[in-house]
Structure 1
Amino acid sequence: MDITAEMFPVCRANEIERQSSEQQWLIESVWARDAVGIIGGAPKCCKSWFGLDMAVSIASGTPCLGRFVVKDPGPTLVFLAEDAIGAVRARLEALCAQRRLDIDGLNLYAITASTVRLDLEADQQRLNATLSALRPRLLLLDPLVRLHRLDENSAADISKLLGFIREMQRTHDTAIALTHHASKKHRAQPGQALRGSSDLHAFGDSNAYLARRKQRIVLTLEHRCAKPPDPIEMELVSRPNGSATHLEIVTPLNADTTSLADRALVFLQHSSKPLTRTAIRNHLKVNNQRLGETLTELNRQGLVLQTPKGWVPLDNHHESATT
């Protein structure tokens, strides 16, 4: 044993920097900041649509699925191995149309190479260089099975591959989402249905699992360090002319959240001035995350607006701005 070797850096527990609630999330309740994880599900369960919804949300700063607030917007990078690059653009244009975004201003990049092999050193180096240049908040790789030629059932092979992905996450301070197939068989935990080594389930800091239930998609979220929301039902919808295809939440807000929405709206309507989120939370005595989700939903419905001075009911905004 070499007793002259340099020791690892350490610090006392009280010297570890605290992480605020604002620093915890990349997308509130959906994906932790700098998290690696799996978007899993059987084929044709809209895994790619969900991954792209995340990427567009982060790149534009708009709510994911129209509800979940992006806490750390910035550039994103995607690679869809099973889609022609023209098909990728068509999906992105649909998501932009639904949000009334101009794709010319979207801070999203797509890898245009025909293949990316995460098990080859040359491609690992190219990915490392790409992440270093772009510094994306999120890297979406879809699907994992097309990104290597290893034995999925080999813990040794998959562990080495996941080790490289974790290294990229830590080196570049970026979240990484891998889409991966799962079997249709029911499991106690959705992650147990992921194809291949069990290391894939254990790997994720944040995981998202999609499953079909008749005409709907059920999204189940999982986090290493936070309590996930209840499962969410969605549908893949389009406008009558077939444009603006996107995932839309169809689960009604529960009774408590609906009541909170009513209380928040009434409180804002009876206020003579804009109200900060803190002021609303203190008055209603509610959880900060629930209030944030409720205000986002009210904003999506066109009932409230966030101004530089605080939240206002939308029908009073013009009056407040001119007085």
Structure 2
Amino acid sequence: MTMLPYKQAIELADHTPETTWLVDELWSDGAVGILGGEPKCCKSFLSLELAVAVSSGQPCLGRFPVRRPGTVLLFAAEDAPRIVKTRLMGIAEARGVDLSGLDIQVITCERLRLDEPRDVQALEKTVAALRPRLLILDPFVRLHRIDENSSHEVASILEQLRLMQRRYGTSILIVHHAKKNGGSARAGQALRGSSEFHAWGDSNLYMRRTGNRGLVGHDQLTLSIEHRAAASRTGIPLALKGEAERLALEIEDKIDALVTANVKPTTTERIERALAEENEPMTLSALRQASGLRTATLCKTIKGLLVAGRIHKTTTGYALVGN
């Protein structure tokens, strides 16, 4: 057995190396971490935004420069492949790039369990072959059958991912849910399950819906950024903009808000606002009344939202899809 490496104290480095970024201010290079938030706060959209940014080299959210573009490997456990593709196409279009030219590789197996050695080995072989700059796993709750409140069980899975990151230099982002009614807690402490999630992350992102209504009637989305070795930021205002199949997150500046004040809500925004306010499935008739849209317009827009994966049909009506 070999000895552990050591140095005399005086020989230790005098300065901490400057942070190197995968995406400026958002994600440090080679970082592992969590993208967290409550349901329906667009976590999946932000993860796909990062995928498009890193693979294309275009600024994330149109604002944060990408320093080390490259391959992205993605596993979306909750969304059908067509929905993932539609969302990626919409984001790519918003950023002025063609999805066909982006090196985004999507894992297409039906399930991936990080608590099963065979699946972990298969994931590592894939990472070793592709050497992605960024690995996205969305969401954690669909990737295991452990007790998320058990520090030991959670730490075991996260440690395997940390080792994978160190072996291959791959940044790893896990999408994870926040606790119900955790809005008053510090962002990292609001994550569901063990505190290991928060402690694990080198870079963490948190999405929230505040109680403040936007000028088109939506609750305000905000993004907070946390790093182990760099400055953090909170309260960056975001909005999901576009029509049906061409949706993308955008940073809302004050000047944007002033312009928006004079813009009539789109048909998509009117339907999503009605569903968000009702917070339960709505019939076609109820949606028509709440949105004030003509039946033909309503049906056409609903069809687009279904294809885009923004809403789904239940036995009692239509409802927003949790992101």
Alignment pair present for 1:206 and 2:191? no
Residues of 2 paired with 1:212 and 1:111: CA distance? 30
Task: Kindly state the Cα deviation for residue 6 of structure 1 after the two structures are TM-superposed.
Answer: 1.1
> Partner letter of residue 191 of structure 1?
G
**Would you identify which runs of 4 or more consecutive aligned residues in structure 1 move more than 6 Å?**
none
Task: Kindly state the Cα deviation for residue 16 of structure 1 after the two structures are TM-superposed.
Answer: 5.8
Residues of 2 paired with 1:124 and 1:195: CA distance? 23
TM-score by length of 1: 0.72
Q: Which residue of 2 aligns with 1:158?
A: 154
Structure 2: which 5+ runs fail to align? 256-323
- Pairwise mapping of residues 139-154 of structure 1 onto structure 2 (< 5 A)? 139-154=135-150
Whether the aligned pair in 1 keeps the contact of 2:223 and 2:238 (CA below 8 Å) is yes
> Partner letter of residue 250 of structure 2?
E
Structure 1: which 5+ runs fail to align? 254-323
What is the CA deviation profile of residues 66-102 of structure 1, one whole-angstrom value per residue up to 9, with x for unaligned ones?
0001011111111110001111111111111112211
Distance 1:15 1:104, change over 3 A: farther
Residues of 1 paired with 2:50 and 2:8: CA distance? 36
> Partner letter of residue 222 of structure 1?
E
Residues of 2 paired with 1:246 and 1:17: CA distance? 44
Secondary structure, in 3 states, of the residue corresponding to 1:220? strand
Task: Kindly state the Cα deviation for residue 107 of structure 1 after the two structures are TM-superposed.
Answer: 1.2
What is the aligned length?
A: 246
TM-score by length of 2: 0.72
Q: Which residue of 2 aligns with 1:116?
A: 112
Residues of 1 paired with 2:2 and 2:175: CA distance? 39
> Partner letter of residue 119 of structure 1?
D
| Among 26, 32, 38, the residue aligned to 1:30 | 26
Residues of 1 paired with 2:107 and 2:208: CA distance? 28
| Among 174, 192, 195, the residue aligned to 1:195 | 192
Residues of 2 paired with 1:46 and 1:11: CA distance? 47
Q: Which residue of 1 aligns with 2:247?
A: 245
Backbone CA RMSD of aligned residues: 1.9
Residues of 2 paired with 1:127 and 1:145: CA distance? 17
Q: Which residue of 1 aligns with 2:63?
A: 67
What is the CA deviation profile of residues 141-183 of structure 1, one whole-angstrom value per residue up to 9, with x for unaligned ones?
0000000000011111111111111111111101100011102
Secondary structure, in 3 states, of the residue corresponding to 2:254? coil
Alignment pair present for 1:45 and 2:29? no
What is the CA deviation profile of residues 244-296 of structure 1, one whole-angstrom value per residue up to 9, with x for unaligned ones?
2100100338xxxxxxxxxxxxxxxxxxxxxxxxxxxxxxxxxxxxxxxxxxx
> Partner letter of residue 175 of structure 2?
T
Whether the aligned pair in 2 keeps the contact of 1:232 and 1:251 (CA below 8 Å) is no
Alignment pair present for 1:176 and 2:180? no
Q: Which residue of 1 aligns with 2:320?
A: none
> Partner letter of residue 184 of structure 2?
R
Whether the aligned pair in 1 keeps the contact of 2:87 and 2:245 (CA below 8 Å) is no
> Partner letter of residue 191 of structure 2?
L
Task: Kindly state the Cα deviation for residue 62 of structure 1 after the two structures are TM-superposed.
Answer: 0.3
Distance 1:80 1:12, change over 3 A: farther
Whether the aligned pair in 1 keeps the contact of 2:86 and 2:245 (CA below 8 Å) is no
Whether the aligned pair in 2 keeps the contact of 1:39 and 1:180 (CA below 8 Å) is yes
Distance 1:20 1:105, change over 3 A: farther
Task: Kindly state the Cα deviation for residue 17 of structure 1 after the two structures are TM-superposed.
Answer: 11
What is the CA deviation profile of residues 28-50 of structure 1, one whole-angstrom value per residue up to 9, with x for unaligned ones?
00011111111000011100000
Distance 1:18 1:91, change over 3 A: farther
